[in-house]
């Protein structure tokens, strides 16, 4: 049965249609937010997947190019693999919803979101987040919802709910918050050094809006919701736990997991697992569950020791950071490098600078962003955790970690006008034991400063964890969690920022939400830790960006020209600009507003290219001096190329201080000469001189006509240098020949 539900959300109408399309899915919501339309579906397999110990949830966000009136690029003219934005959106949908499914549920579940129409005023990402929650809530799939999501911007100190595309362009904050009825369950943020107090205000403003959306979802579920189906539980039987405790007492498990060396811990657990598998080899029912049972046993042991005894696996205090180290210049031939180590987590970052033409081109639904000038890439090889597997390129986790570090650093980067470079930083994970994404922020800051990128301030990242008890008041926040505390804990709260404020947040949890006191304490702890990292660890190594770029980095000089002159610089079919590039070996980028960026490794060639461009776009004026090549010779003078497509003529009488019988006696084609502009006539023709005395002569003298002497006979014409035939007539002949030569 088709039903439609509507509510006003941030001044725009949100409409949910149920039963209109995709009726064979377990749950489907046809979402309308303004003119943005997203089809959200939830489907589940009828039986659990065999041989797994995790919940197999897949989330998709499909960007259809027809949604913005585009035909996809590429040979096939079809949508290809998911864009980075699509991957990040799918992750933001996954993170708040995954904890709300039963922990022992092993049926495959897919949440699919197809973007079919995009209204720039209404975010398709937000629409998909709400659609996924609604489709799952009305389905028969077990789910402890509902949950709702809200986006928040910050403009001129005012919080904006679900900002439009135009508002997002100028906002100081891009915050996404998901909530259940009582608690916050997910936070994702990028910010321009927003203070902690303002961030908390924004988070709980979004939480208030989410409560209104949840009431709306409740109304839809009441009328359209299906009864939740039963499923085969894959929980470990309590009888197996009891049997394992007899073989491996709690004290032995505590001794096995409580060590500061990750490999030692893994060896201890491997030995315990092998002993248990050998003991239960005859029990076909329990043997397949040993791995999951050992994991749960470790988890209970670690949580009990942390929460009750305030004892961490590596012996640290609750608010203590692991041993830290920072280095720069490890890679001598790259433009900048930095390494940051926190315990057994280590990131080596390399910075590369390039012309703006090498910025990443984006082909997505957001028409406001077509290129990306700063790229942060994160790699996680198997050797970093002591494993072996082939490299298959970055997965969703790697893309997400890279994007988080990129978001944290964007606010401190210089503008294109201040620093006309495309910038790429690559974080290589050398060793991993928790919070590699936050170590990437620190390592990237080091490499950027070492490369001479004039960032506005240092950025550091840190992660806090959480272990909760039976009540909301029974919890413990941990500073700088390692891998084991992440796996067995309830939260991974990552915060990147400067001394001034927050630049990025990402919060993952495994429980049904966080209270305000927990969030406040986590943000406070993260601030204290990141200030310590910047002041005590990073600053002693490098406290500000280097003033000079690496000798291996390309040098870029920028000049501004009249946009109307861009065509003169480019030339017909690019002939002029390609000629400059071929002559100097530089790269040249020209923006629509007239910014000309010249890039190369040889400063002399960069200066030469800039000089040529300036000559092209600058109109010749009397008195200006040029260095150019002789390109044509006539009987009456030589033509000199002042710039591509701009020639001037040196009359034979202006070639040198002596009388010249033949032009070739002074210059030949291909000679490079220095000339000065004498005049630009009414037809735009440029007259030049090469005579040494003219190079410094008064401009008025150069342009003043020579005095005529008509005195005749006796001593009255004794001062005459030449007679009328050799003087006035020669000048008339010269002018005629010169005119004929130009017409020719």
CATH number of residue 699's parent domain: 2.40.50.140
Res 731: pLDDT:
47
**DSSP labels, 61-102:** EEE-GGGGT----SSS-S--SPPHHHHHHHHHHHHHHGGGS-
- Given the structure tokens 């490999």, which residue do they identify? 263
Res 717: pLDDT:
41
Quick check: 225 pLDDT over 60?
A: yes
Shared domain check, 611 and 690? no
Confidence of residue 619 (pLDDT cuts 50, 70, 90): confident
**What would the mean pLDDT of 695-708 be, rounded to a whole number?**
66
Shared domain check, 271 and 357? no
User: Of 309, 332, 358, which closes a domain?
Assistant: 309
What's the mean pLDDT when you consider all of the chain?
A: 90
Report pLDDT digits (tens) over 341-366: 999 999 999 999 998 888 998 877 87
Q: Is position 736 within any domain?
A: yes
* DSSP 8-class letter at 146: -
Res 743: pLDDT:
46
Quick check: 475 pLDDT over 70?
A: yes
Shared domain check, 129 and 16? yes
Res 53: pLDDT:
83
CB proximity list for 544: less than 8 A, separation 6 or greater: 449
Q: In terms of residue numbers, what domain contains 569?
A: 555-617
Beta-strand relationship, 374-379 and 491-497: unpaired
CB proximity list for 552: less than 8 A, separation 6 or greater: 333, 334, 335, 601
Res 684: pLDDT:
86
CB proximity list for 505: less than 8 A, separation 6 or greater: 175, 187, 188, 189, 191, 199, 493, 494, 495, 496
Res 702: pLDDT:
67
User: Of 276, 309, 342, which closes a domain?
Assistant: 309
| CATH code, domain carrying 438 | 3.30.230.70
Residue 687 tokens read as 């007259």
CB proximity list for 556: less than 8 A, separation 6 or greater: 355, 420, 421, 597, 598, 599, 606
Shared domain check, 129 and 215? yes
Q: Is position 113 within any domain?
A: yes
Res 236: pLDDT:
87
Looking at the structure of the chain, the number of domains it has is: 5
Res 726: pLDDT:
41
Res 620: pLDDT:
87
CB proximity list for 470: less than 8 A, separation 6 or greater: none
Q: Go through the chain and tell me how many residues it has.
A: 744
Shared domain check, 84 and 172? yes
> H or E stretch including 733?
helix 728-743
CB 387 within 8 A of CB 363: no
CB 83 within 8 A of CB 363: yes
Rounded CA gap, 400 and 92, in Å? 10
From the list 117, 176, 189, 124, the residue with the least C-alpha distance to 148 is 176
Q: Is position 124 within any domain?
A: yes
Q: Is position 428 within any domain?
A: yes
Among 7-16, 181-190, 544-553, 725-734, the range scoring the smallest mean pLDDT is 725-734
Rg, Å, the chain Cα set: 36
What's the N-to-C CA distance of the chain in angstroms?
Answer: 85
**pLDDT more than 70, % of the chain:** 94
Hey, is 222 helix, strand or coil?
helix
**What would the mean pLDDT of 368-376 be, rounded to a whole number?**
87
Torsion angles phi and psi, residue 187, rounded to 5: -135, 130
Shared domain check, 27 and 174? yes
Beta-bridge partner residues of 186 = 178
- Given the structure tokens 């080899």, which residue do they identify? 281
Beta-strand relationship, 184-194 and 502-509: antiparallel
Beta-strand relationship, 686-689 and 646-651: parallel
Quick check: 84 pLDDT over 80?
A: yes
- Residue 262 has a CB neighbour count (10 Å cut-off) of 22
Confidence of residue 19 (pLDDT cuts 50, 70, 90): very high
From the list 425, 421, 338, 410, the residue with the least C-alpha distance to 376 is 425
CB proximity list for 148: less than 8 A, separation 6 or greater: 130, 133, 178, 179, 209, 210, 211, 213, 214, 217
Res 130: pLDDT:
98
Res 157: pLDDT:
94
Beta-bridge partner residues of 511 = none
Rounded CA gap, 501 and 408, in Å? 11
| CATH code, domain carrying 567 | 3.30.1370.10
Strands across the sheet containing 324-328: 324-328, 336-342, 345-354, 422-431, 374-379
Res 371: pLDDT:
86
Res 309: pLDDT:
87
Report pLDDT digits (tens) over 650-674: 999 999 888 888 999 899 999 999 9
Report pLDDT digits (tens) over 708-744: 444 333 333 433 333 333 444 444 545 554 454 444 4
CB 589 within 8 A of CB 638: no
Residue 78 tokens read as 């079809």
Q: Is position 293 within any domain?
A: yes
Res 74: pLDDT:
79
Residue 60 tokens read as 């998709």
- Given the structure tokens 């070639």, which residue do they identify? 655
From the list 385, 383, 376, 322, the residue with the least C-alpha distance to 349 is 376
**What would the mean pLDDT of 476-486 be, rounded to a whole number?**
93
Shared domain check, 162 and 46? yes
Strands across the sheet containing 595-600: 555-560, 595-600, 587-590
Cα dihedral sign for 704, 706, 711, 714? positive
Shared domain check, 209 and 117? yes
Shared domain check, 142 and 246? no
Shared domain check, 671 and 593? no
434 conformational bin, left if phi > 0, alpha if psi -120 to 50, beta if neither: left
Rounded CA gap, 277 and 273, in Å? 6
Among 81-90, 125-134, 283-292, 577-586, the range scoring the smallest mean pLDDT is 283-292
Q: Is position 269 within any domain?
A: yes
Quick check: 438 pLDDT over 90?
A: yes
Confidence of residue 109 (pLDDT cuts 50, 70, 90): very high
Q: Is position 153 within any domain?
A: yes
Q: Is position 129 within any domain?
A: yes
User: Of 617, 638, 661, which closes a domain?
Assistant: 617
From the list 149, 134, 131, the residue with the least C-alpha distance to 39 is 131
Residue 278 tokens read as 């050998």
- E strands present in 511-645: 555-560, 587-590, 595-600, 625-634, 637-643
Residue 604 tokens read as 């002399």
Residue 654 preceded by cis peptide, ω within 30 = no
pTM: 0.84
Shared domain check, 242 and 145? no
Shared domain check, 24 and 160? yes
Res 705: pLDDT:
56
Beta-bridge partner residues of 560 = 595
């Amino acid at each position: 049965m088709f039903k439609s539900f509507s509510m006003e959300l941030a001044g725009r109408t949100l409409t949910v249609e149920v039963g209109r399309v995709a009726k064979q899915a377990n749950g489907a919501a046809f979402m309308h937010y303004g003119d943005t339309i997203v089809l959200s579906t939830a489907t589940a397999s009828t039986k659990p997947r065999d041989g797994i110990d995790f919940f197999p949830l897949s989330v998709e966000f499909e960007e259809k190019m027809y949604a913005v009136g585009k035909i996809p690029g590429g040979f096939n003219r079809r949508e290809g693999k998911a864009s980075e934005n699509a991957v990040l959106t799918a992750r933001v949908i996954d993170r708040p919803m995954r904890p709300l499914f039963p922990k022992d549920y092993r049926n495959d579940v897919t949440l699919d979101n197809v973007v079919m129409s995009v209204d720039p005023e209404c975010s398709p990402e937000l629409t998909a987040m709400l659609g996924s929650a609604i489709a799952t809530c009305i389905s028969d799939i077990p789910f402890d919802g509902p949950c709702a999501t809200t986006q928040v911007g910050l403009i001129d100190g005012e919080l904006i709910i679900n900002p439009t595309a135009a508002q997002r362009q100028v906002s100081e904050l891009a915050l996404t918050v998901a909530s259940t009825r009582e608690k916050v369950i997910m936070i994702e943020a990028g910010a321009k050094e927003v203070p902690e107090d303002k961030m908390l205000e924004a988070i709980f403003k979004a939480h208030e809006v989410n409560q209104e959306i949840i009431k709306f979802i409740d109304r839809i579920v009441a009328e359209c919701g299906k009864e939740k189906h039963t499923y085969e539980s894959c929980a470990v039987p309590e009888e197996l736990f009891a049997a394992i405790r007899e073989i491996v007492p709690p004290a032995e498990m505590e001794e096995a997991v409580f060590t500061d060396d990750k490999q030692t811990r893994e060896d201890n657990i491997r030995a315990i697992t092998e002993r248990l598998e050998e003991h239960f080899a005859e029990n076909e029912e329990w043997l397949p569950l040993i791995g999951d049972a050992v994991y749960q046993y470790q988890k209970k042991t670690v949580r009990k020791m942390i929460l009750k005894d305030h004892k961490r696996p590596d012996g640290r205090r609750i608010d203590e950071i692991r041993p830290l180290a920072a280095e720069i210049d490890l890679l001598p031939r790259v433009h900048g490098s930095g390494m940051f180590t926190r315990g057994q987590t280590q990131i080596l970052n390399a910075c590369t600078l390039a012309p703006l033409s090498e910025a990443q081109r984006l082909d997505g639904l957001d028409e406001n962003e077509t290129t990306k000038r700063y790229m942060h890439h994160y790699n996680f090889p198997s050797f970093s955790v002591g494993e072996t597997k082939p490299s298959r390129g970055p997965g969703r986790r790697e893309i997400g970690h890279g994007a988080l570090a990129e978001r944290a650093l964007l606010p401190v980067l210089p503008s294109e006008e201040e620093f006309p470079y495309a910038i790429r930083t690559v974080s290589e994970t050398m060793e991993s034991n928790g919070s590699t994404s936050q170590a990437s922020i620190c390592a990237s800051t080091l490499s950027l400063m070492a490369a001479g990128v004039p960032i506005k301030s240092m950025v550091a990242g840190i992660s806090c964890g959480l272990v909760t008890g039976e009540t909301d008041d029974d919890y413990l926040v941990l500073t700088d969690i390692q891998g084991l505390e992440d796996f067995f804990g309830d939260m991974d709260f990552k915060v990147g920022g400067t001394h001034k404020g927050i630049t990025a947040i990402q919060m993952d949890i495994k429980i049904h939400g966080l209270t305000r006191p927990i969030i406040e304490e986590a943000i406070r702890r993260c601030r204290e830790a990141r200030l310590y990292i910047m002041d005590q660890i990073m600053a002693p190594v490098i406290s500000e960006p280097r003033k000079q770029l690496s000798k291996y980095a390309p040098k870029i000089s920028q000049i501004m020209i009249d946009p109307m002159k861009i065509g003169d610089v480019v030339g017909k079919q690019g002939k002029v600009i390609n000629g400059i590039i071929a002559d100097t070996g530089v790269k040249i980028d020209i923006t629509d507003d007239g910014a000309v960026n010249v890039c190369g490794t040889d400063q002399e060639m960069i200066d030469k290219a800039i000089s040529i461009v300036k000559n092209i776009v600058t109109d010749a004026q009397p008195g200006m001096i040029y260095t150019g090549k002789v390109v044509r010779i006539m009987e009456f003078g030589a033509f000199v190329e002042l710039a591509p497509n701009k020639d001037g003529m040196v009359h034979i009488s202006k070639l040198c201080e002596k009388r010249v019988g033949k032009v070739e006696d002074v210059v030949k084609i291909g000679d490079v000469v220095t000339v000065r502009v004498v005049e630009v006539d009414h037809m735009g023709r440029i007259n030049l001189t090469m005579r040494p005395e003219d190079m410094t002569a008064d401009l008025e003298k150069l342009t003043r006509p020579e005095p005529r002497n008509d005195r005749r006979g006796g001593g009255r014409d004794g001062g005459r240098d030449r007679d009328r035939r050799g003087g006035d007539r020669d000048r008339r002949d010269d002018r005629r020949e010169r005119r004929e030569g130009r017409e020719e």
